[in-house]
Amino acid sequence: MPQWDKSSTKRSTAVSRLKLQDFEAFREQQLKAMTCQACVEDFAEQRWALGFKCSACGHDEFWFLARRRLLDCKACRHQTSLTSGTIFDKTCTLLLKWYRLIYRMAMDKVGVSIAEMQRILEIGSYRTAWSRAHKVRKAMGDRDARYHLAGLVEMDESFFGQNSRLE
């Protein structure tokens, strides 16, 4: 191999390494830039894209019980939360952390380690992190599932575009 070939290979490796580092830094920045409110708004938009609909009676008007973060159907008084009936239901983990995890999982084609998931979800238990990751993977893999995740999985660009406007 001629000398110039070697050096050009070295150079291009250095360039691609630099790009990868830039990308990692950019991604970290994006993950940090996500806000709780933006995630809640985004999820509400995706879940009720055609407007709120009571899961018990189908009515479309509600009172928002701010303190308890519940939607109270004006017709039948059935109360529901933003996350009820989704994989995020009955978890103490903030939606923001779920978004971070899903974003990470959607971006990393090779997979995300359980240790990384623990860090993102900020949970100590390996077992809990594993079971939550399993839920997300299942929902991501099963597009026809009743979980409202299809939009979320493909959120990477659109979500961050939206988020950056909120900043």
User: Do residues 121 and 97 touch, judged by C-beta distance below 8 A?
Assistant: yes
| Share in percent of the chain as helix, strand, coil (round to 5) | 55, 5, 35
Tell me if 71 contacts Zn ion by CB under 5 A: no
The tokens describing 167, both together, are: 């900043």
Tell me if 18 contacts Zn ion by CB under 5 A: no
Q: Which is nearer to Zn ion, 51 or 124 (CB)?
A: 51
Tell me if 54 contacts Zn ion by CB under 5 A: yes
User: Do residues 132 and 117 touch, judged by C-beta distance below 8 A?
Assistant: yes
Task: Single out the segment in contact with Zn ion by CB under 5 A; choices: 42-50, 77-85, 106-114, 155-163.
Answer: 77-85
From candidates 15, 25, 57, 166, binder to Zn ion by CB under 5 A: 57
| DSSP code of residue 148 | S
Residues lying near Zn ion in the complex (CB under 5 A) are found at: 54, 56-57, 59, 73, 75-76, 78
